[in-house]
């Protein structure tokens, strides 16, 4: 039996909330903390299954890591050459970020290792990292169709390369920059469109200069990383569910506190504002190299739009929630240029279209996106998340505009990114129960 969410129809979202820590930054803080020299103290850490998989992998490779409180982690870094061979395969669970970034880290070690994952991760494409790593000298075996498990042969000499990425992917960029730490010479990655830059920012914070020239980021290997402290803001991707919920539910007024507003992540704010949402960015300041702010979101009538293509990589994880906003908007919303959504934790184009159809929404599936005809009220019904955390949370918010309860099956994986979702959402006014 897996968790089912049952969400009563209607209601509004009110009050002030701090959602859990940023998933992308939490993964990177463990990785760089483990590879640094000295003690790194991490606060605001996301205590979700994905980041705990990264943490457990480094513990298995001999890195002392303590957790004095659930959101605080102390990592005693072992330096770039201090990792030990793991006791067995490293289980990355549901996390594409953990698997792809670890691939970059492990490619440069002098021991063999194997990365495994759950059923969803075992379907996801890995050649996008293994092929460019192979050009640097790495030896990594995938299954015949390019999926995990990944068998990484240690003891290879890596050489810095200039990579021009075909896909706008922060995971691929980060895996290559991390492998660059063990490579001879300079490793440069040019991306086709800007993607989240947490790796570059954090490497700088750990004393590793990252050269940036327009769309290209470069690192030079060899230098030590210096430990320090990392203060992780709330995850804008988790805040996005409440941004959409408050925007669609009449009478809503929410303050989302201390949210990371790195400009490579704020596409969701831009897209919702283009749809007519009322979102104020308050008290903007910088913490540990990352911009943070409070977001005040109030109900506003939304209208359908053509989503600008350049915003797609800047909102890549927020489309399940944005599709729900589109379903409640007046008129038609069209997304194109988002074929990457098909290879996330689920095929987020098809799975969202199937669920929206259950709720009475007329949508047309495109190879690289979705055309959604908004309606004043959604139907209730039973939808499946296909084990995808963000699908589950998006449909929970849809109930705010439904005329009958929405039941969402298969919600266990919400714990990968937002373990306390049901409790916090109930606190804000959503009629959700998890059983």
Using the rule CB under 6 A, is 346 a contact of ligand S3P?
no
Q: How far is the CB of 343 from ligand S3P (least distance, A)?
A: 8
According to DSSP, residue 235 is labeled: P
- Alpha-carbon distance 268 to 273, whole Å? 8
In the block, which residue shows the tokens 């290997």? 221
Residue with Cβ nearer ligand S3P (195 or 247): 195
Helices (H) and strands (E) in the chain, counts: 12, 25
Contact 312/337 with Cβ under 8 angstroms?
Answer: yes
Using the rule CB under 6 A, is 63 a contact of ligand S3P?
no
Q: How far is the CB of 81 from ligand S3P (least distance, A)?
A: 25
Return the residues of window 140-199 that contact ligand S3P according to CB under 6 A: 169-171, 174, 196
Collapse the DSSP code of 87 into the 3-class scheme (helix H, G, I; strand E, B; otherwise coil) and give the result: coil
Q: How far is the CB of 423 from ligand S3P (least distance, A)?
A: 23
Residue 427 phi/psi, 5-degree rounding, is: -60, -35
Geometric angle at alpha carbon 239, from 238 and 243, rounded to 5°: 130
Residue with Cβ nearer ligand S3P (252 or 417): 417
Candidates 60, 197, 317, 388; catalytic one: 317
User: Which residues are bridge partners to 285 per DSSP?
Assistant: 292
Using the rule CB under 6 A, is 317 a contact of ligand S3P?
yes
Number of residues engaging ligand S3P in binding (CB under 6 A)? 10
- Alpha-carbon distance 296 to 17, whole Å? 10
- Alpha-carbon distance 324 to 216, whole Å? 35
Q: How far is the CB of 158 from ligand S3P (least distance, A)?
A: 21
Q: What is the largest CA-CA distance in the chain?
A: 61
Q: How far is the CB of 15 from ligand S3P (least distance, A)?
A: 27
Closest CA to 104 of 190, 191, 187: 187
Residue with Cβ nearer ligand S3P (294 or 317): 317
Using the rule CB under 6 A, is 316 a contact of ligand S3P?
yes
317 carries an active-site annotation: yes
Question: What character string, x for contact with ligand S3P (CB under 6 A) and - otherwise, covers 97-116?
Answer: x-------------------
Q: Which positions are annotated as active-site residues?
A: 317
Binding interface with ligand S3P (CB under 6 A): 24, 97, 169-171, 174, 196, 316-317, 340
């Amino acid at each position: 039996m897996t968790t089912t969410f049952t969400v009563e129809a209607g209601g509004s979202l009110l009050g002030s909330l701090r959602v859990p820590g940023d998933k992308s930054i939490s993964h990177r803080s463990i990785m760089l903390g483990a590879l640094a020299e000295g003690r790194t103290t991490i606060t605001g850490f996301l205590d979700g299954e994905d980041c705990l998989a990264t943490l457990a992998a480094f513990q298995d490779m001999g890195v002392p890591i303590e957790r004095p409180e659930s959101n605080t982690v102390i990592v005693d870094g072992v330096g770039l050459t201090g990792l030990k061979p793991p006791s067995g395969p490293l289980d990355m669970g549901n996390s594409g970020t953990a698997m792809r970034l670890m691939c970059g880290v492990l490619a440069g070690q002098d021991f063999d290792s194997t990365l495994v994952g759950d059923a969803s991760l075992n379907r996801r494409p890995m050649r996008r990292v293994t092929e460019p790593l192979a050009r640097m000298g790495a030896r990594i075996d995938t299954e015949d169709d390019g999926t995990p498990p990944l068998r990484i042969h240690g003891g290879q000499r890596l050489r810095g390369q200039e990579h021009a990425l075909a896909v706008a992917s922060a995971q691929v960029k980060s895996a290559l920059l991390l492998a660059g730490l063990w490579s001879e010479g300079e490793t440069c990655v040019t991306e086709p469109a800007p993607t989240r830059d947490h790796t570059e920012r954090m490497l700088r914070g750990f004393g590793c200069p990252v050269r940036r020239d327009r769309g290209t980021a470069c690192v030079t290997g060899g230098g030590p990383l210096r430990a320090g402290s990392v203060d992780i803001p709330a995850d804008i991707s988790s805040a996005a569910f409440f941004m959409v919920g408050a925007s669609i539910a009449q009478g809503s007024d929410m303050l989302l506190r201390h949210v990371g507003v790195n400009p490579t992540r704020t596409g969701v704010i831009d897209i919702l504002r283009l749809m007519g949402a009322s979102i104020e960015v308050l008290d903007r300041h910088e913490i540990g190299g990352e911009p943070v702010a409070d977001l005040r979101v109030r109900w506003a009538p939304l209208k359908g739009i053509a989503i600008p293509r350049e915003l797609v990589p800047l909102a890549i994880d927020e489309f399940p929630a944005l599709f729900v906003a589109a379903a409640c908007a007046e008129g038609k919303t069209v997304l194109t240029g988002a074929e990457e959504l098909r290879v996330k934790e689920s095929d987020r184009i098809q799975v969202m279209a199937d669920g929206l159809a259950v709720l009475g929404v007329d949508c047309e599936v495109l190879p690289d996106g979705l055309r959604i005809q908004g309606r004043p009220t959604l139907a209730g019904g039973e939808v499946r998340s296909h084990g995808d955390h963000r699908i589950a949370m998006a449909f929970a918010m849809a109930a705010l505009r439904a005329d009958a309860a929405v039941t969402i099956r298969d919600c266990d994986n919400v714990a990968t990114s937002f373990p306390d979702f049901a409790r916090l959402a109930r606190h804000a006014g959503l009629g959700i129960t998890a059983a």
